[in-house]
Amino acid sequence: MLVLSRRADQQIVFPNLDIKVNVLQIKGKVVKLGIEAPRDVPILRPESCDDFDFTALQNNIESGVDRHQLRNHLNAINLGLKLFQKQTEVGMEGDAEKTMQRVIDELQKLDSSIGQAKSKVKPASSSKAPRLLVVDDDENERTLLSGLLKMHGFDVVTAADGVEALDQLSNGELPEFVLLDMKMPNADGPSTIRQIRGDSRFNNVKVFAVSGTSPRDLGVDSGIEAWFPKPLDPERLISAMTKDSPNTTTTI
């Protein structure tokens, strides 16, 4: 239990309520207090309590606090302040001090309840990072592009050619996007696209072609969502993968 001190400069802190009570000055029977609280928390003198609806405070308290427990705390604080006022008026200083101690104890209980409720709140789960498969036979380009995409929050895996890409698609976690270089040994871009689109397991995988030539030159007229010319503009690529519905075939 907190013992209410009569010393000046005493500070009582309620961290979860974000309230601090400072004993500023003691002169005879008068104790001067300073109260620090958030702007949306009303600060009242005991004589003002009759005009204030304490139940309105419930709207500003953490939702995780038990509502019945909250009402009990607020009711005890309300009654304690009114009793303190009456005892002070008739000179019952000892009893008034005990009553104020009870009010502070109740505030501590409320502060503790809010702290426990906050500790139980689970952080909002962040959405899973989009998974990408970067396919390029040039190791340097593949490494640099995948590194850049990782820096933008993507989950990136890589493949060196179409054969390796199809193996990844068949045996690993399916990506949302395949970024496919068009000119590669073993299995080039067009043949890889035909195999991806010929397998129903990959119907939801979006394929973006990356090439220094045009789709017409390579005979590609379907099976891709977008075509990105080299040198690649990373910002346009990332924008295409993060927009809501990148489902229409677009030449960029």
* 122-131 per-position pLDDT tens digit: 555 456 788 9
Best CA proximity match to 70, nearest among 121, 31, 107: 107
Residue 178, number of CB atoms within 10 A of its CB: 25
Structural domain containing residue 216: 131-251
Count of domains observed in the chain: 2
Q: How many residues does the chain have?
A: 252
Query: Within this chain, do residues 113 and 141 fall inside the same structural domain, yes or no?
Result: no
Residue carrying the six token digits 């426990």 = 116
Query: Within this chain, do residues 186 and 247 fall inside the same structural domain, yes or no?
Result: yes
pLDDT of residue 123: 54
- Provide the residue type at 125 as one letter: S
Query: Within this chain, do residues 101 and 179 fall inside the same structural domain, yes or no?
Result: no
Mode of pairing for the β-strands spanning 131-135 and 226-229? unpaired
For residue 76, the surrounding DSSP H or E stretch is helix 67-89
Positions of the chain with pLDDT lower than 50, given as ranges: 1-3, 5-6, 46-54, 56, 60, 62, 125, 244-252
- Of 64, 89, 120, the one marking the end of a domain is 120
pLDDT of residue 208: 93
pLDDT of residue 54: 47
- Of 120, 142, 163, the one marking the end of a domain is 120
Per-residue pLDDT tens for 82-128? 887 788 888 888 888 888 888 888 878 877 877 776 666 555 545 67
Residue 212, number of CB atoms within 10 A of its CB: 12
How many CA atoms are closer than 13 Å to the CA of 51, on its beta-carbon side? Answer: 7
- Of 59, 89, 120, the one marking the end of a domain is 120
pLDDT of residue 20: 65
- 14 within domain boundaries: no
pTM: 0.48
**CA dihedral for 241, 245, 247, 248, sign (positive or negative):** negative
- Quick one: tokens of 223? 């099976």
